[in-house]
Structure formats: C-alpha cells, structure tokens
Amino acid sequence: MTHTLPPQDNNPALPSRRNILKSAALATAASAAAFGMHAAAQTGAPRPAASAPAGRKVALVTGSSRGIGAATARRLAADGFRVTVNCVANRDLAAAVVREIQAAGGEAIWEQADVSDPRAVRRLFDANDKAFGGIDVVVSNAGIMRLAPMRDMTDEDFNRMMDVNLKGSFYVMREAARRVRDGGRIIALSSSITQLRSPTYGPYAASKAAQDFYANVLAKELEGRMISVNALAPGLVNTTLFTDGKTPAQIAGFAQRTPHKRLGEPADIAGVISLLCSTTEGGWVNGQTVFANGGVV
C-alpha cells in the first residue's frame, strides 16, 4: 500500500579500480539542481531524451526510514527530487521522514516493502511510478549486518543477510535497470569492510562486495543511455547498524582510527550520494566503487 501524507501547514569497482572522489573536482556538482535537467545536458555524447518530462526528477531510496537511507532521502529531496521512502518494519519512521520532507517543501511518499521479496520490490517501484510517473535515481541502500566468527555464524543469520543484502539489492538493481530513465543514476551501498576485512565481518563483507560487481557490470550493460551506476562504500558511519553490539569505548576507539578522529554521520554519506546523483556534473563517475570512510582505509 502506498502512503501519502497530507500537506503540512507550512508546506510551500573492483577494489583495484576504485575511484576516491576528489572534493575539489566535484564541488560544483554539490550545487547542481536536480530540477528538470535534460539527459543530454550532461557531459558526454548527447542523446535524445527518453527521460523525465520537465519538472522535478524522482528518486527511490530503499531502507530510508533511518540511518544513511533517511539522510539520503532528505538530501535528495533538498536537492529537488521527489522521493519514495521505504522501510521494512518501522512505518512510523518512514512516515516521519516523509513529513519532514513535506514540511521543507518537498514531495515524498513512503512504502513498506521487504527488498528480499522480489514481488515486494516490484510493488515498491510500481508505487513510485504511480505517484510520480517514473524514476530517475535509485539508491539500493537497504541492508543488515550480522557479525560472528565464521565458526559461530548461524545458518539463520547468514541466510537472512544474503536474502537482504545479496539477493535484495539484486532485485532492486534489476528493477532499476528496467525502469530508470535515460540520464539517470543508480547507486548500490557497498562497504569499506571489503578492504578492511576484519574478523567477524566475512559473510557481511562478501554480501557488500557483490554491490561493487552489480554496479560495475550494470554500468556497462546500460551503455548508450547516459545512466551512471556506481557502488558507494561507506565506513564507520554512526548508525545503529554500526553501533549496535559495540561498547561506547569500542565506538570511541573506532572513531580514533580515522584521520578526522570521528565517526562518519549519515549526512556525510548522503552528501556523496548527492554528488553522484547530480544530473549535470556527476555522470562521468561510472562503474566505480567510491569509498567514503573518512580515510580509515
């Protein structure tokens, strides 16, 4: 079921090929508006539009009721996108993200859908299309983390992690490949753990490494359509996914491992996604794994 909310009163790549964004090179992208930009307006060979009609472009962010996804939904809305928010369980949080976007003058809907179910993923995209008429940006962000030494990991934890991270993101990326309009962007959330390779992270890291391959291969498969596909690999971001099960001392210790001596915040990652989703500047980053971890790797 699709959920719209009444308007508010005040409503007006492979690791060896990784591409670490240089902030100076992309600074101009940060201010690029997402409104009504034609696919042919981006750098590269022009192509007649089979893209969005004039008006706001549309973004769908899976797992955007909290954490990195919620920050991304808010940021893309602030950039001018109409946004579809998604949760698996926390309906109240998803509704709150939508209300916040609307209160700031944006447009959003939310839809509960478990990405590990391919029918639910189709329903999620259908709801987006019904509300907004099409899709320009997909961020495959929904993910879970189960940690244990390999000898202790249960079948249940392993299988659920693969169902959500490996299979679920595939279902989302497949639907994105079918539906994203010319000139669009597709981003899959990988992780810097693919480089750190710490004990207890083996199966989780494997499920995240898959995102690098999804993005790199899909970028090639969508040739000629001016759609850029990338994996974004955060590290040490202050969300429950990262902090749950760790003591305050352990968390502080992780923060000290970064050159900036702090954890990343969801908004740090949302800002990089915003750069990659700029319809005017970000498109030449394509088929890459972009690391955003404060320099910990």
Ligand X SMILES: NC(=O)c1ccc[n+]([C@@H]2O[C@H](COP(=O)([O-])OP(=O)(O)OC[C@H]3O[C@@H](n4cnc5c(N)ncnc54)[C@H](OP(=O)(O)O)[C@@H]3O)[C@@H](O)[C@H]2O)c1
Report, as residue numbers or ranges, the catalytic residues. 204
Interatomic CA distance for residues 95 and 108, integer angstroms: 10
CA distances from 66 to 46, 79, 277 (A): 37, 19, 20
Least separation in angstroms between residue 154's CB and ligand X is 18
57 binds ligand X (CB under 6 A): no
Binding region for ligand X (CB under 6 A) out of 24-32, 74-82, 136-144, 170-178: 136-144
Q: What are phi and psi of 233, to 5 degrees?
A: -115, 90
CB-based contact 297:235 (threshold 8 Å): yes
| CB nearer ligand X, residue 177 or residue 297 | 297
Binding region for ligand X (CB under 6 A) out of 14-22, 80-88, 126-134, 172-180: 80-88
142 binds ligand X (CB under 6 A): yes
228, 239, 274, 278: residue in contact with ligand X (rule CB under 6 A): 239
144 binds ligand X (CB under 6 A): yes
Binding region for ligand X (CB under 6 A) out of 15-23, 65-73, 176-184, 283-291: 65-73
Least separation in angstroms between residue 119's CB and ligand X is 13
Interface with ligand X (CB under 6 A), residue total 34
63 binds ligand X (CB under 6 A): yes
Interatomic CA distance for residues 132 and 110, integer angstroms: 12
Interatomic CA distance for residues 191 and 203, integer angstroms: 12
168 binds ligand X (CB under 6 A): yes
Residue type, 261: K
Residue with tokens 């305050």: 248
Query: By C-alpha distance, which of 279, 278, 240, 267 is closest to 75?
Result: 267
21, 29, 77, 87: residue in contact with ligand X (rule CB under 6 A): 87
| CB nearer ligand X, residue 103 or residue 144 | 144
294 binds ligand X (CB under 6 A): no
Least separation in angstroms between residue 225's CB and ligand X is 25
84 binds ligand X (CB under 6 A): no
Interatomic CA distance for residues 224 and 210, integer angstroms: 24
Query: What's the number of CA atoms in the CB half-sphere (13 Å) around residue 113?
Result: 32
Strands 108-112 and 2-3: antiparallel
Q: Which residues pair with 216 in a beta bridge?
A: none
18, 56, 57, 66: residue in contact with ligand X (rule CB under 6 A): 66
